[in-house]
Structure 1
């Protein structure tokens, strides 16, 4: 019987900790304006798990449903009704063996950044949960 993957993560200061069990049902890169702003990078790398696969401890603050540590400011995850979208850079162990399944907002991808081989490409936000306007 295969062993279920358990990944842990948290914020920079350690005040917020979380655990995700199993594999994400979706993973990807997003090149939209919002993800650029919240990560301070050219894209975000995220994985989505069902809410029952996710546990956390510590106090979080939120802005527009995006959760972060109020002590150190680390952006952690986006909570929604039945799931959680985790910023993969907050996982404890890298590499974390989660390849992007999709890339969204490719119309905004930097020209120096090649598409991920094997990922399904979307010009805009066709598959996401309505959390971004581009």
Structure 2
């Protein structure tokens, strides 16, 4: 029996390290203003995991957090400021930023909050106005 894949990640200075095990629930790009401002980029690459798949292996005491809304707790390393997670308790999922796991085979499947985009992409992936219905959104698709 093959074991589940696992991937390691860290903040930029390495003080906070973690492992994810198995496969993410979803992967894609978020275009909402909050994610853009948090990531300091025009789009944020996300990978959503069940909480039990994410283990902080070093530096849990160095993780800072911020809640802009009750639906998300953004987390970063207090030493370097490197962003690592966003906990979405209402969804029961943790967003582990794809960019902080160097060996993770990121394979996006969707764009969410595309109505807020500042970077229009024509990649053939579905573009959602907000998020899928099963995540509490409208499920409305937008054209590329």
Query: TM-score scaled to structure 2, two decimals?
Result: 0.78
Aligned residue number for residue 64 of structure 2 = 61
Out of 111, 119, 122, the residue aligned to residue 115 of structure 1 is 122
CA–CA distance in structure 1, aligned partners of residues 85 and 77 of structure 2: 10
Task: Structure 2: state its 5+ residue gaps.
Answer: 68-72, 138-144
Report the CA distance between 1:79 and its aligned residue: 1.8
Task: Structure 1: state its 5+ residue gaps.
Answer: none
RMSD (Å) for aligned C-alpha atoms:
2.0
1:27-66 aligned within 5 A: 27-56=27-56, 57-58=58-59, 59-64=62-67, 65-66=73-74
Pair 1:121–1:2, CA change in 2 (3 A): farther
CA–CA distance in structure 2, aligned partners of residues 115 and 106 of structure 1: 12
Report the CA distance between 1:129 and its aligned residue: 6.8
Q: Greater relative contact order: 1 or 2 (C-alpha under 8 angstroms, separation 6 or more)?
A: 1
After superposing on structure 2, the runs of 4+ consecutive aligned residues of structure 1 that deviate more than 6 Å are none
1:69-108 aligned within 5 A: 69-81=77-89, 82-93=92-103, 96-108=104-116
Equivalent pairs, count? 126
